[in-house]
């Protein structure tokens, strides 16, 4: 099963772990410091990522899922130490230290998966600096695609791991919990925080793109393009009588909007 994954080194001790044979082209990220390693997402349920990670680092490992959708929590129970952002919507899924994501957050209907129950070792506050030893990541709340989405900002390198907030292909704002108001608020926050030359890595590639085999990389121009697209939707709201509406964001992505995501936006 190990050939399910494709590992790309982004920097010394920083790896993108892709699933090029999964139609959703997931990418998870392993960031190692001197003392600890952090795995951002455990990928789809098809693979078993823990042996791959064990082959890349022997540092103590912490896993942080970017959000609770089924395609980012694959075999999360296999990992000893899982942390979650301290968000009320996630706390509501906890009984003691065991979290079972609600159907609204996990989306079991999409590919018929069952929400896992897993132990949470720690709840991290939004804004927390995760110190891996000589390498620090800031935990950002980046709702839009889902209310519980978080990103990791590696300031020293100018890299944002944006997970499902921004990636290649179709951005999904037609799924339960997606909100264009939240997408726009997050985009403006990120635009204010990120330096112009920041690099952004997302959690999905575009299977139809010639770049599909590489980690999905974007930049602040794509963030600006998303803001333009969202403002455009607000100015000319789509007619969704015939289903979700798709609008181009940039050469790398589109935005698919469902009626619920427009709530409070137009």
SS3 136: strand
Whichever of 36 and 149 has its CB closer to Zn ion, that residue is: 149
Whichever of 32 and 164 has its CB closer to Zn ion, that residue is: 164
> Which residue in 19, 71, 148, 206 binds Zn ion (CB under 5 A)?
71
Which range in 44-52, 77-85, 159-167, 258-266 contacts Zn ion by CB under 5 A? Answer: 159-167
Count of residues engaged in binding Zn ion, rule: CB under 5 A: 2
Residues forming beta bridges with residue 27, ordered by sequence position = 18
Do the Cβ atoms of 133 and 75 come closer than 8 Å? Answer: no
User: Does the protein bind Zn ion through residue 41 (CB under 5 A)?
Assistant: no
Whichever of 30 and 162 has its CB closer to Zn ion, that residue is: 162
CB of 43 to Zn ion, least distance (A): 10
User: Does the protein bind Zn ion through residue 164 (CB under 5 A)?
Assistant: yes
CB of 199 to Zn ion, least distance (A): 20
* Helix ranges (DSSP H) in the chain: 50-56, 88-91, 103-106, 108-111, 180-193, 220-235
Strand runs labelled E in the chain? 6-11, 14-18, 27-32, 37-40, 61-64, 83-85, 94-95, 98-99, 118-119, 122-124, 129-131, 136-141, 150-154, 159-163, 169-173, 199-202, 217-219, 245-248, 253-257
Which range in 14-22, 93-101, 160-168, 186-194 contacts Zn ion by CB under 5 A? Answer: 160-168
Whichever of 13 and 29 has its CB closer to Zn ion, that residue is: 29
Return the residues of window 79-108 that contact Zn ion according to CB under 5 A. Answer: none
Whichever of 71 and 206 has its CB closer to Zn ion, that residue is: 71
User: Does the protein bind Zn ion through residue 206 (CB under 5 A)?
Assistant: no
Binding site for Zn ion (CB under 5 A): 71, 164
């Amino acid at each position: 099963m190990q050939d399910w994954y494709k590992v790309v080194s982004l920097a010394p001790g920083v790896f993108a772990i892709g699933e090029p044979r999964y139609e959703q082209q997931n990418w998870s990220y392993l960031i190692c410091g001197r003392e600890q390693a952090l795995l951002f997402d455990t990928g789809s349920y098809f693979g078993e990522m823990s042996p791959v990670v064990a082959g890349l680092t022997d540092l103590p490992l912490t896993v942080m899922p970017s959000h609770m959708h089924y395609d980012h929590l694959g075999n999360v129970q296999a990992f000893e130490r899982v942390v979650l952002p301290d968000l009320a919507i996630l706390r509501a899924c906890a009984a003691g230290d065991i979290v079972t994501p609600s159907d609204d957050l996990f989306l079991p209907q999409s590919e018929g998966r069952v929400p896992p129950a897993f132990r949470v070792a720690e709840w991290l506050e939004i804004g927390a600096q995760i110190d891996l030893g000589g390498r620090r990541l800031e935990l950002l709340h980046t709702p839009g695609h889902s209310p519980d989405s978080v990103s990791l900002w590696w300031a020293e390198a100018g890299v944002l791991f944006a997970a499902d907030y921004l990636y290649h292909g179709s951005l999904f704002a037609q799924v339960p919990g997606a909100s264009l108001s939240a997408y726009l608020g997050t985009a403006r926050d990120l635009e204010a925080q990120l330096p112009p030359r920041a690099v952004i890595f997302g959690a999905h590639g575009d299977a139809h793109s010639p770049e599909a085999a590489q980690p999905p990389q974007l930049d602040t121009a794509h963030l600006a393009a998303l803001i333009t697209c969202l403002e455009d939707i607000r100015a000319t709201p789509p007619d969704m009588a015939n289903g979700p509406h798709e609008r181009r964001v940039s050469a790398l992505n589109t935005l698919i909007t469902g009626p619920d995501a427009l709530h409070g936006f137009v």
